[in-house]
Structure 1
Amino acid sequence: MNCLKRIIILSFLLSPIHGYSIEIRGEAIQANDSYEYKIRNKKPLELEAPYCIGDPSWIDSPTLPQEPTKTRKSDINCSFMQFAWQSFAYYTSDKTSDFFMDMMPKDRIFKEIPDSWDNKGDQGLVQTEVLQAGSNFPLNDQEGNPVFYQQSVNKKFYYDIVKHGLNNSQCVADIDSGKTPFDISPGSTEVKTSWKLMSNHDNPKQFFTIHRDVEIDGAVKSNVLMGLVGIHIVRKTKNHPEFIWTTFEHKGNAPDCADVPDLSNFKKSGKWTFFNPMSFQKVNTYFPGKPTQVCRKTPYGVGILTKPEVAKDIKALNEAMSHYYQTRNSVWSNYFLVGASWTVSSGSVKIGEVPPTWKNEIGGSKLLSNSTMETYVQNPQWFVLVHPKKDRGCFACHKYDPLTKKALHLSHMFNAAQDYGQCLPLRLDFEPKN
């Protein structure tokens, strides 16, 4: 009998379920080991990821990386995370000609006659978009105000859309049917941002801020101060037709869900933009008219089956880049990389496979989400294990059926195309001049 008990206990210890439980606990510990904690305790960066480091030249002399670059196989994940940070530093720098606030917003493109490119971005527009993709719910901050969203594209993507008349749903249909050959050009970039209204409880110096007119409950408020709380930067490269999906957040947005049970008092937890530790309201759930309680289900997009170096590389880069920005007194020191996703063909070295589906191994942050943009549709850490044949992360929504659609539908912007009649010939007069 004692022998049988020993066999049962040994079988349990060696079982996959027990192994996964250990891994879940390990991920929770890993998620709690924030870069702020490491900085306070002066934990050496080299202990985390000695080869995955940032570069201050990305800030001082910003250049846009064309592809993730690696020096050896073990650098694959790091190279994509470095690509994400270098792209962020480039697009958020006013030293470049591609400043993200100068990009053309969706509302100025998807109308009968698109606006001409003028580097004015969304200036002059009334901000109205408050519903999140995937859930169609707004995100309310602790003052009860909704977060606002904006989608914009760089000049290359803009000219692709306008030249081919893709503001017209009939032109989109011609591409989907194969009548018109088209593919989004490498170098095209889409940026999606999330903004909160600054209140007396916020320190505007800790946010990248703008002044805009906003519409709330049918009433327009003028010249409102807004702070950036999240930003997606999605780039198509020659080697990645599925786009490389990266996302960043403000450090003060919300805690990790794994930390929530330990936030016993306000002083211990600090102040969060979208989380009140004194509230008993269910997290990541929309309640009309009430502030939303937000926490991150999958910090850095990691799950049970995610490679351990993913979170290590991201945290190491975040620590380095935060330090570089702090020494330059830059507001961008208050933002961090959540993660990056791309596709990798299972069983081969091929990368950048389309269409992205559960059959593709998602590289990097397999369960990537931004707590301010996908608040209500975050996948839990065990999702890939329990649902191995379901799309997840960014590619749970950004996908298409190759039998009826083309790859342009990886972007949801084309859902805004309207029927303006028969698709006209190419607008050659919209060729970019540079």
Structure 2
Amino acid sequence: MPPLPSRHAVRRFTQSLLVVAMGGTALHCKDDPVEPAPVDPQTLCSGTFSDGTSINVANPQPLSDVPMPEQSFCDFHTFAWNQFLYLTQTVQDPNDPVTPSKPRFLSYAPWYNMLQPDGSPRPGAFPGGITTLQVSHLDQKQAGSGQDELVDVAGNTVLYDLRFNPTMYDFITGSTYYTQAGYDAFCQPTDPSQPFTLCGNTAQIWMPWGTSTVMGSMELKSAWRQFPGNDCPSTQMYCAGSNLGLVALHIAQKTPTHGEWVWASFEHVANTPDCAAGSSSPIAPLSPLGTPWAFFNPSTAPASVMETKTCGVVPGNAQCNLDPKVGTGFQQVNICRTDALPAGGASAANCAVVDSSTSDPNANSGGNVSCLNATLRPQLAGIWGNYQLVGTLWTKGTQPPDQDFWIDIFQSPKQGVPEKTAVGFPNLANTALETYLQIGSTAYDPNGSGLSNANKAGCFGCHNPVAQDTATDLSHFPSKFDDLTEPRVPAKQ
């Protein structure tokens, strides 16, 4: 496969358009606005970092941090794509007797290898046992949305997996935090009977953040569509066996300069259309692959939705993202994306690297992601070209990896603690992992008025020191202790 072209190798007509679009001068973007200086107008967000290094699509290498010293907004989205390519690279996994050849992220430790019932011996060396994706250990409930389920157009429930990289696994299992009793001994919960109870111990567990050559702690959450007829379309998506298809992947990585973790989310392009017309994936009878949508059924959508390519999500005009609950079960409802990417692919406007400013505080992040998707996806062999980045989230500037902070959207000021601003995609939500927590999708709001998704959606809505009420460095891993003892409803086979 040919190497990724540098920004300076972009087609001549695109370069000319960019100069016009930027008034003759293209600007670098930085987390903190500075006096802009003239730079090469050919500088585009298309796979090259601001330090001059580029993504190697054919042989992706892991990154322990967003390249310094600039760390432009474009750099974070490029970092997200680089990590996705590395994590989906095929490896041979000796800990999987069923599927030894598989994407790297599935060779990481599943949560049930790391966390153990009280009284259990310390887990073994990473990954702590068999890594095979096991339906019996997958969640049917979405995190953070009132324990709702997502049902696809065929009536099957989406399942969820959670894994940890060696750095985080070794830290948890090397301490006492791998059992509920061991974690509680540190936390000293004020009410052990309640989930996410405030810790009586004011100390903080800081997950390892790595070094310049070693990746810091990483959590990987994946969403899997079920195919009970063993007909997972392996030419269209990654299939684990013949009955599970990957529809979404969250990547959360703690780095030396971003202790708030860098959050990136990817989806299969045939998951859902966008709620409004004019964006990158408009409502249509079929997905961009020419296949049915996974979570949107045109035959059940009102005729006006298909005609206008707009699906209402707010009270009084709600046609998509409705309450999935029916009695004690769940039903399929049409899903659309509210925080959509702009149309145009690798257009001059989308690819332009610009400064963060009052008028554009997120520095053309949507456009840059559209540009990266359009540039990188065609270079990927096989099914991985059918996945796209839907957003990246971090906080403005840098954040020490062992220091508390508060997020201005979600929290009240904390004395002596610095305020941080969420940037990139502040309202980031994955339609398969956080279906009912999308910004502006208020006809059904599982959080209610307390943390309404009318204007407070995004990763930091749940992953912040106050919302999680634990001392676990924005990780919710202690919530999985309950799953060690709770009976599970078998998924469809």
What does residue 296 of structure 2 align with? 275
1:193 shift after superposition: 0.1
Structure 1 residues 335 and 115: CA distance shift in structure 2, 3 A: same
Q: Does 1:266 align with 2:266?
A: no
Aligned to 1:80: 76
- The one of 151, 163, 170 equivalent to 1:140 is 151
Question: Cα gap change, 1:44/1:160 in structure 2, threshold over 3 Å: closer, same or farther?
Answer: farther
For 1:370, which of 430, 447, 470 is the aligned residue?
430
CA RMSD, aligned part only? 3.8
**C-alpha spacing 1:189/1:268, structure 2 compared with 1 (3 Å):** closer
Instruction: State the partner residue of 1:335.
Output: 387
Q: Partner of 1:111 in structure 2?
A: 116
> Counterpart in 2 of 1:228?
246
Query: Structure 1 residues 59, 121: closer, same or farther in 2, change over 3 A?
Result: farther
Q: Give me the whole-angstrom Cα distance separating, in 2, the residues matched to 1:96 and 1:351.
A: 36
1:131 equivalent in alignment to 2:179 = no
Query: What is the distance in 2 between the residues matched to 1:360 and 1:342?
Result: 10
Counterpart Cα distance in 1 of 2:244 and 2:12: 35
CA contact (8 A) 1:232 1:247 kept: yes
Give the Cα–Cα distance (whole angstroms) in 2 for the partners of residues 264 and 78 of structure 1.
Answer: 28
Pair 1:398-2:447 in alignment:
no
Deviations 1:198-247 (A, max 9, x none): 37786321101102xxxxxxxxxxxx521100000100011111111100
Aligned residues: 353
Which of 55-64 and 393-402 deviates more?
55-64
Choose 242-251 or 273-282, whichever is displaced more: 273-282
Higher helix share: 1
* Partner amino acid, structure 2, of 1:343: T
Percent of aligned positions that are identical? 24
The corresponding residue for 2:104 is 99
| Range with greater deviation from structure 2 (151-160 or 358-367) | 358-367
Instruction: Between 351-360 and 408-417, report the one with greater CA deviation.
Output: 351-360
For 1:360, which of 414, 417, 420 is the aligned residue? 420
Cα distance change, pair 111–342 in 1 and its aligned pair in 2 (3 A): same
- From 58, 61, 70, the counterpart of 1:60: 58
Letter in 1 for 2:320: V
1:43 deviates by 12
What is the deviation of 1:51? 2.0
1:68: how far off? 1.2
Asked if 1:416 is matched to 2:434, the reply is: no
Cα drift, residue 307 of structure 1: 2.9
Which range moves more in the overlay, 85-94 or 307-316? 307-316
Partner Cα distance (2:162, 2:261) in 1: 16
AA at the equivalent of 1:64: P
Partner of residue 256 from structure 1, selected from 267, 271, 274: 274
What CA deviation, in whole Å up to 9, does each residue of 1:177-208 have, x standing for no partner? 54877421011110000000237786321101
CA contact (8 A) 1:68 1:80 kept: yes
Residue 60 of structure 1 aligns to a residue whose secondary structure is: coil
CA distance in 1, matches of 2:92, 2:84: 12
Indicate the residue corresponding to 1:198 in structure 2.
227
Return the letter of the residue paired with 1:163. Answer: G
Q: Is the 8 A contact 1:338 1:370 kept in 2?
A: yes
Measure, in 2, the Cα distance between the counterparts of 1:236 and 1:300: 25
Map of 2:316 onto structure 1: none
Shift of 1:164: 1.1
For residues 40-55 of structure 1, the aligned pairs below 5 Å read: 50-54=43-47
**CA 1:258–1:44 in 2, change beyond 3 Å: closer, same or farther?**
farther
Equivalent position amino acid for 1:363 in 2: V
TM-score by length of 2: 0.63
Alpha-carbon distance between aligned partners in 1 of 2:337 and 2:467, rounded to the nearest angstrom: 33
State whether residues 110 and 161 of structure 2, in contact with CA within 8 Å, keep that contact through their aligned partners in structure 1. yes
For the 8 Å contact 2:260–2:399, the answer to whether it is kept is no
Aligned to 2:321: 284
Which 10-residue stretch deviates more, 333-342 or 58-67?
Answer: 58-67
Paired residues of 2:362 and 2:423 also in contact (CA < 8 A): no
C-alpha displacement at 1:362, in angstroms? 0.6
Check if 1:379 corresponds to 2:400: no
Q: What amino acid maps onto 1:88 in structure 2?
A: F
CA contact (8 A) 2:221 2:250 kept: yes
AA aligned to 2:268 is H
One-letter amino acid of the structure 2 residue matched with residue 144 of structure 1: G
SS of residue in 2 equivalent to 1:194: strand
Q: What TM-score do the two structures reach when normalised by structure 1?
A: 0.71
Gaps of 5+ in 1: 1-41, 212-223, 421-434
- 1: CA distance, partners of 2:59 / 2:75: 19
Following TM superposition, by how much is the alpha carbon of 1:366 offset from its aligned partner in structure 2, in angstroms? 0.9
Instruction: Specify which structure has the bigger relative contact order, considering alpha-carbon pairs within 8 angstroms and separated by 6 or more residues.
Output: 1
Check whether the contact 1:198–1:204 (CA below 8 A) recurs between aligned residues.
Answer: no
Which residue of 85, 88, 101 maps to 1:89? 85
Per the TM alignment, residue 139 of structure 1 is displaced from its structure 2 partner at its CA by: 0.4
- For residues 59 and 264 of structure 1, the distance between their equivalents in structure 2, rounded to whole angstroms, comes to 30
Between the aligned partners of 1:178 and 1:351, the Cα distance in structure 2 is 23
1:58 is displaced (CA, Å) by 2.8
Q: How far apart in 2 are the matches of 1:101 and 1:245?
A: 19
Q: Determine whether 1:310 maps to 2:365.
A: yes
**Bigger share in strand:** 1
- Aligned amino acid, residue 315 of structure 1: S
